Amino acid sequence: MQDRDSELRLADVLVESVDTLTDDFDLGRYLSWLADRCVELLGVRGAGVMYTGGGDEVLLAACGCRQGAVRELLEIQHLGGPCVESFGTGEPVAPVRIDSEGAEARWPAFAARAGKYGVAVTYAVPIRRNGTVLGVLNLFVGAAGRAAEAGTGAASDHGVRIAQAIAKAAATGLHNHRTHSAYRVLSEQLQTALDSRIRIEQAKGILAERWNTGMDEAFEAMRGHARREQQVVDLVAVQVIKGLIDAETLRRGRSGPS
């Protein structure tokens, strides 16, 4: 019955992981939630997420009985560690015993700090979408944890598979969020450009009617004024619509009355 409940809970988490198309989506809160769910489902001492938004900035999220320690274990990986290794290769880092010679040789600073905090085993899985690594899940197993029977035990293999399932779902959710955000920004930019064009056309019509001239001459007058005053044409158009610029002064090519 407990296994059945665990399976249902994992299914719930996977569904929630891809639900990122909400107006109140917060990336930092999502990454913390993801780390928290890993601790819940895997029974590890702590979990961390290293995430890059596609630029130079790297976001870290930590969860566990000693959250500050987990965060420190993520931060120290600028000197090397499972997260950075998984980021570079795009592949999982299989469970490694912290007290092994391999871990000490592989990541000396990280292994020393992890051992200080009572971590017995660590492993990492990439959050990868279409060949692009968006981030990495890093799991920290304590000596008394239910997955602590080191790197080759069945529990550890099972834990890696669960972590990979969570990472895949999170990759889909984060990719969807990125795509949604990009389309939203593009939509806002297009709407802004359309609104600007409408204002400019309206201002051109006002001036052309007042001067009994063509739309091109009206636009050239606004553009000339914008250059002289180091303004954008859209701002000049708003001033024309609101009657804040003397039309005749604008037509004569002067920025103000003599």
pLDDT, tens digit, 9 for 90 and up, residues 94-108? 999 998 888 989 999
Q: What is the 3-state secondary structure (H, E, C) of the chain?
A: CHHHHHHHHHHHHHHHHCCCCCCCCCHHHHHHHHHHHHHHHHCCCEEEEEEECCCCCEEEEEEECCHHHHHHHHHHHHHCCHHHHHHHHCCCEEEEECCCHHHHHHCHHHHHHHHHCCEEEEEEEEEEECCEEEEEEEEEEECCCCCCCCCCCHHHHHHHHHHHHHHHHHHHHHHHHHHHHHHHHHHHHHHHHHHHHHHHHHHHHHHHHHHCCCHHHHHHHHHHHHHHHCCCHHHHHHHHHCCCCCHHHHHCCCCCCC
- Domains present along the chain, CATH in parentheses: 2-182 (3.30.450.40), 190-251 (1.10.10.10)
pTM of the model as a whole = 0.70
Residue 85 pLDDT exceeds 60: yes
Write down the pLDDT at residue 101.
86
| Model confidence pLDDT, tens digit, residues 212-237 | 888 998 999 899 888 888 999 999 99
- pLDDT tens profile 236-246: 999 999 988 87
